[in-house]
A and B are shown apart, each in its own frame.
Chain A
Amino acid sequence: MNWLLDLTPDEWNAVRLSIKVASVAMIASLPPGILLALLLARGRFWGKTLLNGLVHLPLILPPVVTGYLLLLTFGRRGPAGAFLAEHFGIVFSFRWTGAALACGVMGFPLMVRAIRLSIEAVDRKMEAAAGTLGANPLWVFATITLPLILPGLIAGAILSFAKAMGEFGATITFVSNIPNETQTLPSAIYTFTQVPGGDEGALRLTLISIAISMVALIASEVLARRVGRRMDIE
């Protein structure tokens, strides 16, 4: 058992970095995820099908392509990347923030899909009832819609987190594989498999990544069940 936890500092960093990157990706995707899910579930506008396709693109494209597109837009010379670096000091290329961006983008369609489905399941009559009681649309959203979609929100967030933990192709293409900066668990495992005698390290990190994913999954199940029981929708 000891050999499992006896990680080198670089390996520990990979674990920590992965959790950090996945958490940031998940949390940062939530607000735009909710907004887009609302737009797609409720909105009626020209180009909705197109927007829906765009949101789902990272699911269909090869991750390498997504990573390359990110590099083109958010890289140091990319239009968005240059703008953000100049005006806000936010740099993505070859930083852990870039890894988080890549992971967030890759998990985004999964998150939006889960939230959208739960929004579509909300009984809009409940919202009308809240309106007649004096709640304006913003309050209705905060006190009725949001609590009712909470299980879907949790599911979407966990899916995004899990996807981020496993993301490899887009990340390595966009921000490369730099130890202590952009080397997440999958990248670290990949590196181990490329050097002779790296099998043991690869296996250790594999087991750890399985454990983290399982914990996240179980936590989401428990949380969702709690919320579900609290609601007890007829």
Chain B
Amino acid sequence: MTLSVDIRHRLGDFALEAGFESAGRLTALFGPSGSGKSTLINLIAGLIRPDKGRIAVDGRVLVDTEARIFVPMHKRRIGMVFQDARLFPHMSVAGNLRYGRWFTPSSERYAKMDAVVDLLGIGHLLDRRPAKLSGGEKQRVAIGRALLASPKLLLMDEPLASLDEARKAEILPYIERLRDETKIPIAYVSHSVAEVARLASDVVVLSQGKVAAAGPTEAIMQRLDLLPAEERGEGGAVLDTKVLRHDEAFGMTVLASQAGEIRVPKLAQAAGAPVRIRIRARDVMIATEQPAGLSALNILAGTITAVRPGIGPTVEIAINCNGAIVLARITEQSKHTLRLALGRQVFAVIKTVSFDSATTGAGLPVEADG
């Protein structure tokens, strides 16, 4: 699937001028609030009509102002999950889930009720009214409702933004599952580094109505300069790892990554399961010799491949550890004292404790409810 967008749209003082193409499994539209990401997704869904431009999904033109094409939203077959779940209050959960099916030609219905209910763990909620659901449950039902219309593309507009941390942690695994177990391409709007790093295969960074950068998640997350100021501390390397084993005695999980073994606080996933982790640049120390007598458990050997000025009195140093790039953010002074420069052999040091659920993810509960 390819999503191609080239749009100019004016809303009062705000001008959106965005062009990008993405063929990712889950493309994140990422940027601070006011950067135009929600406008963009509303344009794709057909909720707004652009002043100028073209939008196509898999070659099917949805909007082309020059050719005077505008497919109305009910004919686009694009699912949408809103920040506020927007479940229909006068229908039960089952009624909400079935709603989109009526309008999907039977030859194009690929989503199965049972499979979707299982995928999202909402089997025990079917008879309830939306008002009786928690925020997290509502959002899961909203995702299911969009899926059951058998969309060609699923748009998610900050689906977690109005939830507290516990509820977010409850839903994230389901979205991962959606990404991995279904074939529907997803475009996901978010301003959170944690969500994007964990979920996205590709990222489109928006800033003041323009596309600031676009590319694979691993590359974008290392560009701390692209991240919104309040999220900059969250930036760093994104590594795809596998669970190697659990260390029951010390309550830790050992992950195998390209950079070497990484010890994190114990995870729920079974051995062999894929886990994507994020190593915040600010959590990485640099040693010029193999450290001894150090409490930190993760010591990765590597070579400095980039030194960039950071924000304030800091520098960002990229270390190639056996092919995986680990990013460290340290002070100018340390760089100066240690004489860190391109090509230098160093050790990246990361405390196990600096990993948390936001950077390692929580995984699905072992016994999913329902």
Report which A residues bind B (CB closer than 8 A): 123, 125-126, 128-137, 139, 143-144, 147-148, 230-234
A132 in complex: contacting residue of B73, B90, B104, CB < 8 Å: B73
Interface of A is mostly: helix
User: How many pairs, one residue from A and one from B, have CB atoms within 8 Å of each other in the complex?
Assistant: 74
Q: Does B45 interact with chain A (Cβ within 8 Å)?
A: yes
Contact A128 B149 (CB under 8 A): no
Q: What residue in chain B is nearest A123 (Cβ atoms)?
A: B86
Residues of B in contact with A (beta carbons under 8 Å apart): 45-47, 72-80, 82, 84, 86, 88-90, 99-100, 102-104, 129-132, 145-146, 149
Q: A133-B149, A134-B104 are in contact. Are A147 and B90 (CB under 8 A)?
A: yes
Compute how far the CA of A131 lies from the CA of B86 in the bound complex, rounded to whole angstroms.
Answer: 12
Contact yes or no, B79 A126, CB < 8 A: no
Separation of A79 and B39 alpha carbons in the complex (Å) = 53
CB <8 Å contact, A233 and B103: no
Assess the B86–A136 pair: CB atoms within 8 A: no
**Interchain CB contact under 8 A, B130 and A234:** yes
24 residue pairs of the A-B complex, CB under 8 angstroms, read: A125-B84, A126-B88, A128-B47, A129-B82, A129-B88, A131-B46, A131-B72, A132-B47, A132-B76, A132-B80, A132-B146, A133-B79, A133-B100, A133-B149, A134-B75, A135-B74, A137-B74, A139-B103, A143-B99, A148-B89, A148-B90, A230-B90, A232-B129, A233-B131
Q: With contacts A132-B47, A136-B74, A230-B90 known, what are 7 further pairs, Cβ within 8 A?
A: A123-B86, A132-B46, A132-B80, A133-B100, A136-B72, A231-B90, A234-B89
A134 and B84 contacting across the interface, CB-CB below 8 Å: no
**In the bound complex, do residue B145 and residue A133 qualify as a contact, i.e. CB atoms below 8 Å apart?**
yes
Q: Is there contact, CB below 8 Å, between A129 and B131?
A: no
Q: Which residue of B lies closest to A133 (CB)?
A: B100
From B72, B86, B129, B145, A126 is in contact (CB under 8 Å) with B86
CA distance A129 to B88 in the complex (A): 9
A134 with B89: CB separation less than 8 A: no
Give the residues in chain B near A132, CB-CB below 8 Å. 45-47, 73-74, 76, 78-80, 146
Q: Is the CB of A134 within 8 A of B82?
A: no
Bound form: Cα–Cα A129–B78 in Å: 11
Let me know if A144 and B77 touch, CB within 8 A: no
Residues from chain B with Cβ under 8 Å of A143 in the complex? 99
- How far in angstroms is the closest Cβ of chain A from B57? 14
Q: Are B99 and A133 in touch, CB under 8 angstroms?
A: yes
Inside 8 A of B129's CB, which chain A residues have their CB? 232
- Smallest Cβ-Cβ distance to A232: which chain B residue: B131
Q: Are A131 and B74 in contact (CB under 8 A)?
A: yes
Residues in chain A near residue B100, CB distance under 8 A: 133-134
* Nearest CB on A from B274, distance (A): 31
Residue among A133, A144, A231 with the most chain B CB within 10 A?
A: A133
| Complex Cα gap A131–B99 (Å) | 11
